[in-house]
Every structure is written in C-alpha cells, then in structure tokens.
C-alpha cells in the first residue's frame, strides 16, 4: 500500500514574519515528510526564488504564493494567492505600495510605544526583521527580547493587537481588491482561515459570495486554528458557492512555536488530493501548474 502523502499550503519565512529562511523552511518541510509546500509570505514574493532552489535540491514541490491582508468591518481578512508567475508586474507594484504603508504604520506604533516610555527604537525592529518585510511580529520580538512582554502573544494582547495600546490601523486593500489583484496575476485565490474572523454567520456568507464574484476560487478549510466544527462550516460554504478547498498550518517558525509544519497544533493533516483537485481546477481553466 502506498503511504499517504501530505501537503502544507500556508507557510511563512524570514521574507516576511517567519523565523525560518526560505531554505530552512524547505529543508524542514522535507524532514517533516511533506510532498508539497506553498510559501505564502505576507505582501511579498521575495523569498520565492530561494525557496524554489531549495525545493529543487530537496525534491519537494513548491507552490509560489503570497498572503495579502485586507480589512473588513470585523477585522482583518487574509487572502492567499497560489501559483503566482515570475515577476507579475501589477502585483509587484501593489506590493511595493503596501510595503511603504506597512513601514509607516510600524514606525507609528514604535512611536506610540516610545510615548509610553517604553525603551524601543525602530532600528531595533529593523535589525530583527533583517531583509524581510517588517511587521508587528518583529516589534513583538523586540518587546520580548527586552523583557517588556513575556511572550509575543502577550505583546499583541497588550500593545500590538487591535485592542492594544500601541495599535495603529493599517491602510490596506479591501477584500475584493485583494482577490482581484491576485486573480489578475493568474493565481488561484483562497480565503485564508475564515473562521478566525469573529463575525455573524450571515455576514461571513455574504462576504464569501462577494469574494466569489470578484474571483475567489477556494476556502482554506483546514488550518491550525480551525476546529472540526470550523472545518465543517468551511466545507459547507465552499460547497454552496462552488469553491475548492485549501489547507495549511500558517507556520511561522519560532514566532508561533505551538504551530508545526504540516501538523499545526498536532491534529492538522492536509492530504495530497487537495493539491490534485486544485491542479485540476487550474488545468480546466488553462492556467499553468
């Protein structure tokens, strides 16, 4: 009997806010026995060339992706783009605009922390981020390193989350804009971890319908933070709106130490047939795999 094969279509590297370099991420995916992995860094494609090279060396499939953040009335709505081509110019232009907005937002949050007499500088945040896209997790890491917060989770709860004292809303895309810009780049577009949005069921269903109209292809039913009830709700929504299913751990390395590649918090397993169905969908539409 052939051994079951598993995949992870939602991961992050040091190109955004993960702790593994793209090379380390692929090596760890190979060690975990995964057959395929998607690198979906926040608002950047910078890690993809390195990840592709590492994937070739390890004999593991890599799906080129990214994760775009958008904002709705009940908080952030994240959208995954999978199978992105090389150098999609309109998307790269949009990502550069988002990078500048994120930079301004991060600096403002550091200034708010300084206004609370917290010892932190933006240079320290940049040093933690390295060459990656700077985000709130990097600010959190500085707060933890300086013992201002006991953990990144607490740093978000007290300072950086949407109810935190240093929180600054980010200027970003609408959910429909996020779907459209990824769709125009030729990606398969998935609604990331939809059940993490604390919103009425009727609103969520309406949002799925609107995103579908804008080009949404799939829902991320299988996710580290989704319960079995959440999975069933996602599968039901996907069925009603003719959407495919995706799944992934949302791995960030040591930034989220309780989430492991491929298995999330221990119970996540995304079977290879999920990838095969997504590939079949792309083939039907004449898109590259």
- The domain defined by 6-88+172-284 folds into TIM Barrel (3.20.20)
pLDDT of the residue at 199: 95
Q: What is the CA radius of gyration of the chain?
A: 18
Could you name the CATH architecture of 95-160?
Orthogonal Bundle (1.10)
H or E stretch at 271: strand 270-271
pLDDT above 50 for 47? yes
Distant-in-sequence, close-in-space partners of 226: CB < 8 Å, separation ≥ 6: 193, 195, 196, 234
DSSP SS3 for 112: helix
Q: Which residues pair with 191 in a beta bridge?
A: 79, 219
CATH 3.20.20.140 maps onto the chain at 6-88+172-284
Q: At 229, is the pLDDT very low, low, confident or very high (cuts 50, 70, 90)?
A: very high
pTM, two decimals, is 0.86
pLDDT above 70 for 221? yes
Q: At 187, is the pLDDT very low, low, confident or very high (cuts 50, 70, 90)?
A: very high
Q: At 52, is the pLDDT very low, low, confident or very high (cuts 50, 70, 90)?
A: very high
Question: How many whole angstroms separate alpha carbon 107 and alpha carbon 95?
Answer: 18
H or E stretch at 77: strand 75-82
The residue assigned the tokens 């799906």 is: 63
Q: At 2, is the pLDDT very low, low, confident or very high (cuts 50, 70, 90)?
A: very low
Q: Which residues pair with 271 in a beta bridge?
A: 6
Distant-in-sequence, close-in-space partners of 277: CB < 8 Å, separation ≥ 6: 244, 245
Q: What is the pLDDT of residues 117-147, one digit of tens each?
A: 999 999 999 998 887 778 898 999 999 999 9
Going by the DSSP 8-state scheme, the letter that residue 70 receives in this structure is E
CA dist list (Å): 176 to 76, 169, 210? 13, 19, 7
Q: Which residues pair with 82 in a beta bridge?
A: 65, 188
CATH 1.10.150.650 maps onto the chain at 95-160
The more confidently predicted of residues 205 and 4 is 205
């Amino acid at each position: 009997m052939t051994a079951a094969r598993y995949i992870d279509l939602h991961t992050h590297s040091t190109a955004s806010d993960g702790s593994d370099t793209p090379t380390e991420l692929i090596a760890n995916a190979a060690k975990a026995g995964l057959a395929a992995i998607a690198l979906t860094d926040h608002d950047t494609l910078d890690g993809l060339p390195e990840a592709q090279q590492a994937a070739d060396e390890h004999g593991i499939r890599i799906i080129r992706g990214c994760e775009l953040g958008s904002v709705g009335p009940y908080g952030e709505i994240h959208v995954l783009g999978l199978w992105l081509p090389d150098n999609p110019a309109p998307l790269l232009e949009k990502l550069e605009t988002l990078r500048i907005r994120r930079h301004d937002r991060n600096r403002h949050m550091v200034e708010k922390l300084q206004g609370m007499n917290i010892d932190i500088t933006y240079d320290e945040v940049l040093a933690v981020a390295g060459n990656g896209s700077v985000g709130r997790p990097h600010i959190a890491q500085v707060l933890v390193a300086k013992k201002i917060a006991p953990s990144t989770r607490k740093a978000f709860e007290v300072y950086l989350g949407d109810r935190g004292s240093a929180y600054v809303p980010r200027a970003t895309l609408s959910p429909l804009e996020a779907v459209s810009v990824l769709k125009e780049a030729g990606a398969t577009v998935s609604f990331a971890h939809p059940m993490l949005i604390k919103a009425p069921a009727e609103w969520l269903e309406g949002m799925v319908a609107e995103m579908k109209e804008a080009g949404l292809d799939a829902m991320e039913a299988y996710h580290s933070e989704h319960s079995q009830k959440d999975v069933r709700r996602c599968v039901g929504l996907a069925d009603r709106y003719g959407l495919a299913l995706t799944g992934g751990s949302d791995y960030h390395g040591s930034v989220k130490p309780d989430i492991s590649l491929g298995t999330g918090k221990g119970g996540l397993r995304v079977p290879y047939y999920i990838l095969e169905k997504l590939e079949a969908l792309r083939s039907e539409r004449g898109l590259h795999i």
